[in-house]
């Protein structure tokens, strides 16, 4: 997953430039508090939760995230004329990731077979991820262009 995050991060500059944000604007950006809960919770999960429980919760969450990204990429192209390069970040996450899915299934199956998967806990993690992601989008919706 870290490799994918690094690749996605490389695609953000074209998006920010298409939005009219230059290097100075990037440097002066102040994070929105409502957008920080999701990544903070993912970091907490990485440090504190059982790996299999986290894999299950994140895999479910990524499915929803991929759908959001596909919708955003389409809207950016159709409504705002953004280029392929400017939409590459969203396109990256909108694409299926069969290898990542295969690894997730194998990890969950191994944990199930070893009795190390807490389905209720994984469900709780997934539910909280969805709420923190909704907080992210809600915080963005309050931003004036």
Containing structural domain, residue 104: 2-141
pLDDT in tens, 19-74: 999 999 999 999 999 999 999 999 999 999 999 999 989 988 888 889 999 999 99
Which residues, 6 or more positions from 88, have their beta carbon under 8 angstroms from its beta carbon? Answer: 11, 14, 15
* High-pLDDT (> 90) share of the chain, %: 72
What letter would DSSP give residue 49?
S
pLDDT over 60 at 145, yes or no: no
pLDDT computed for residue 139 by the predictor? 93
Residue 70 exposed, middle or buried by CB count within 10 Å (0-12, 13-18, 19+): middle
| 3-state DSSP assignment of residue 31 | coil
Arithmetic mean of pLDDT over the chain: 91
Q: Write phi, then psi, for 142 (nearest 5 degrees).
A: -90, 0
Lowest-confidence region among 48-52, 97-101, 134-138: 97-101
Question: Considering its fold, how many domains does the chain have in total?
Answer: 1
Mean of pLDDT values over 3-17: 88
Q: pTM score, two decimals?
A: 0.82
Lowest-confidence region among 89-93, 95-99, 140-144: 140-144
What letter would DSSP give residue 19?
T
């Amino acid at each position: 997953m870290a490799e994918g995050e690094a690749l996605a991060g490389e695609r953000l500059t074209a998006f920010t430039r298409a939005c009219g944000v230059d290097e100075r604007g990037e440097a002066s950006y102040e994070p929105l508090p409502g957008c920080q809960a999701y990544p903070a919770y993912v970091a907490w999960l990485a440090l504190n939760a059982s790996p299999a429980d986290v894999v299950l919760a994140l895999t479910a969450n990524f499915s929803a995230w991929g759908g959001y990204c596909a919708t955003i990429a389409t809207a950016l192209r159709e409504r705002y004329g953004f280029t392929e390069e400017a939409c590459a970040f969203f396109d990256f996450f909108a694409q299926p990731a069969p290898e990542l899915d295969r690894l997730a299934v194998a990890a969950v199956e191994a944990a199930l077979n070893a009795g190390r998967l807490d389905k209720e806990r994984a469900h709780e993690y997934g539910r909280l991820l969805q709420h923190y992601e909704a907080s992210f989008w809600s915080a963005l919706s309050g931003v004036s262009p």
